[in-house]
Amino acid sequence: MNHDFHRGEKVLPPSSLEGKARETMHNAFWDHLKEQLSATPPDFSCALELLKEIKEILLSLLLPRQNRLRSEIEEALDSGLLKQEAERGALNVLRLSKYIISMMTLLCAPVRDEAVQSLDSITDSARLLRGIFQVLGLMKMDMMNYTIQSRQPHPQEHSIRRERAQFQERLDQQPGLLDHTTKWLSRAAADLDMQPPACPDAPDPSGVACPSADEAASSPEPLSPTMVLSQAFLNLLLWDPDDREFPETLLSDRARLRELEAQLRRCTVLASVLLVASSFSGSVLFGSPQFVDKLKRVTKALLEELDSRPEEAMLTVSEQVSQEIHQSLKNMGLAALSSDSTASLMGQLQDIALKENCVRSVIDQRIHLFLKCCLVLGVQRSLLDLPGGLTLIEAELAELGQKFVNLTHHNQQVFGPYYAEILKTLLPPSQALQTEVESL
């Protein structure tokens, strides 16, 4: 069961026959509406139908207890009164649109705030109605997703019980079915026992000092089931594809884990690129949200080929980032980078293609630390104290962290009892009372 499921807007390829047909029909309708409203006297027949449909959509977005708003919308967009105003030639489409936008502002999810606010700048009645209709479509989809998610707990509980029962049937027939899972958890416990301080010798671009080996050894933290399981889940994102001993309890999630691994890799490279670029262009450019957003968009688009052709992808990234910095400095009337600085910038960016690159290694360790915090503290709390070098990719990390937490949380709900039994054999006797695996 995919608990990240949600409905999204259907986007047809512009070149497809269906896409062309739909675009032609839509444009024809909105062109016709514009002609009607521009006529002398105006023809409001299409506008009345649109307003009627908009009213129904607004009412569908209300919660049962929002009776006052329901009455207000019914009165303001009463079809009978609007028809009378249209017959008198007194229907004020622009005024009604502004009222509709005010209702949308109250009812929309935060993710739609910007889209709703952008409607205020449209002064053409036909274009404004078209924009309202488009954003209302997105709001309907948001409400549908909210409804689906709010009704998920019972199907989730059923899914958990069913998955556990099916696994138990297989385990009864194959007593060694948990062998790989046991090795996976054992390896995580061993990793925690032997784990050195993170990157003690590597240069730290953010200037944050790493603890020394002596400091780490002087205050070892006793292992707990939560620590071991968190480390085990993190190890899945570094799994060697040639290692056939993948834990049996996660076989059904392997494809999603590979997707998360690729997403993690892109986040690591993106943050590394931004960190290197900021060290050359300084706070002036990186103090501009518009510049940072553009640089992120450009870089993310070029990283699509990172997995198949890392060197070529980073060469293209280095050229484009260098060009963006040069152009932005020029537009702001600032001195351009020298030829030596430009060559150094491009060289450091191209070196990020190597997994052992120092900047990339530090960023990778910090993203793994963030993900570990997500498992223990939750995504939102972990975002409040991001390690250095990660603040510019906060949105990307939030998405990655939430997907990872959702996957591991469901897996733990299904297989937690099996993990608890295995961990009893791995942890010291002093931890025996804590072997019931907590919910991450």
> Lowest-confidence range among 3-7, 61-65, 150-154, 374-378?
3-7
% of residues, the chain, pLDDT over 70: 83
Distance CA 224, CA 427 (A): 8
Average pLDDT in the 146-155 region? 63
Q: Give residue 234's Cα distance to chain centre.
A: 19
pLDDT of residue 229: 94
Average pLDDT in the 309-317 region? 93
Distance CA 48, CA 43 (A): 10
In the predicted model, is pLDDT for residue 238 greater than 60? Answer: yes
> Mean pLDDT for the chain?
83
In the predicted model, is pLDDT for residue 2 greater than 60? Answer: no
CA nearest neighbour of 295 among 325, 253, 326? 325
In the predicted model, is pLDDT for residue 216 greater than 80? Answer: no
Confidence of residue 83 (pLDDT cuts 50, 70, 90): very high
> Lowest-confidence range among 63-67, 101-105, 192-196, 244-248?
192-196
In the predicted model, is pLDDT for residue 209 greater than 70? Answer: no
Phi and psi, residue 89, nearest 5°:
75, 20
In the predicted model, is pLDDT for residue 10 greater than 70? Answer: no
Q: Which tokens go with 280?
A: 């050359």
pLDDT of residue 217: 39
| More confident: 158 or 346 | 346
pLDDT of residue 21: 53
**Predicted TM-score of the model (pTM):** 0.61
Segment 153-199, tens digit of pLDDT:
556 677 888 999 999 999 999 999 999 999 999 999 998 887 654 43
Average pLDDT in the 306-312 region? 89
In the predicted model, is pLDDT for residue 414 greater than 60? Answer: yes
Average pLDDT in the 373-399 region? 90
